């Protein structure tokens, strides 16, 4: 997806802690074939989210359902179209609201949650796009599937009968400490090994601290938050 705006076209226009100069600096580093998902948990208010969309961001990522409720309700209908991505941890009791609010769920790692998403989507007469979350460092405190080809392929196969879910790719989380590059490289290899069989096109990896490295290693989507509000 093209980002649709050049950094040079943006001007300094502060909204609380947010300014277009931060967005311009990020956009300069993202090539046209990579989608920027703006992770807005650092946004001070809905005006900052609105400014991102006005500035050329086509995908907004929310970690929490309640924040999404507040932000989306306050955004004007006159904004350009944008996708709504859920990038937080799925909770069973909030899946109905997740389906109602979001176009894409990036954090799927449980067949039970997949089945609940599918049922909720069917009830709401919609198809939800999902990404399978990969725990690249296999850290016990984080959600996500370990990055092994066999177990990820088995999970993707289990999603196929769910008619109201459309799995488009993988979402990678890496350890906070250490070099992200080996994890990105391994997950790119995993993605390449699975994409033809499962028709995958999205590799979401990289955040504020390492999205440039992620792009070098093959990310097609990055999730940038803090760097947009500095």
Question: What are the backbone angles phi and psi of residue 84, rounded to the nearest 5°?
Answer: -115, 115
Q: Where are the beta strands (DSSP E) in 14-148?
A: 35-39, 59-62, 83-86, 104-108, 128-135
Q: Does domain 32-228 have CATH number 3.20.20.10?
A: yes
Say if residue 15's pLDDT is above 80.
Answer: no
**pLDDT tens, position by position, 78-125:** 888 899 999 999 999 999 999 999 999 999 999 999 999 999 999 999
CA atoms within 13 A of residue 158's CA, in its CB half-sphere:
15
pTM of the predicted model as reported, rounded to 2 decimal places:
0.89
Asked if residues 83 and 67 have their Cβ atoms less than 8 Å apart, the reply is: no
pLDDT for the residue numbered 230: 72
Burial classification of residue 71, based on how many CB atoms lie within 10 Å of its CB (0-12 exposed, 13-18 middle, 19 or more buried): buried
Average pLDDT, the chain: 89
**pLDDT tens, position by position, 36-84:** 999 999 888 888 898 899 888 999 999 999 999 999 988 877 888 899 9
**pLDDT tens, position by position, 220-229:** 999 999 888 8
Q: Where are the beta strands (DSSP E) in the chain?
A: 35-39, 59-62, 83-86, 104-108, 128-135, 165-173, 202-204, 221-224
């Amino acid at each position: 997806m093209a980002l649709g705006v050049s950094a040079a076209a943006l001007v300094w226009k502060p909204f609380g802690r947010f300014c277009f100069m931060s967005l311009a600096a990020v956009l300069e580093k993202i090539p046209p074939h990579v989608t920027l998902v703006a992770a807005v948990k650092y946004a001070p208010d809905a005006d900052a989210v609105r400014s991102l969309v006005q500035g050329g961001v086509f995908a907004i990522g929310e970690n929490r359902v309640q924040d999404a409720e507040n932000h989306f309700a306050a955004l004007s209908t006159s904004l350009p179209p944008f996708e709504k991505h859920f990038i937080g941890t799925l909770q069973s009791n909030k899946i109905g609201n997740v389906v109602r609010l979001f176009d894409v769920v990036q954090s799927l790692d449980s067949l039970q949650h997949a089945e609940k998403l599918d049922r909720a989507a069917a009830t709401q007469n919609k198809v939800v796009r999902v990404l399978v979350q990969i725990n690249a460092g296999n850290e016990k405190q984080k959600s996500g599937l370990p990055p092994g080809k066999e177990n990820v392929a088995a999970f993707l196969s289990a999603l196929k009968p769910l008619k109201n879910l459309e799995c488009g790719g993988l979402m990678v989380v890496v350890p906070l400490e250490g070099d992200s590059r080996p994890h990105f490289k391994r997950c790119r290899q995993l993605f390449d090994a699975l994409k033809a069989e499962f028709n995958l096109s999205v590799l979401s990896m990289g955040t504020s601290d390492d999205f440039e490295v992620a792009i070098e290693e093959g990310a097609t989507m990055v999730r940038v938050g803090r760097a947009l509000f500095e």
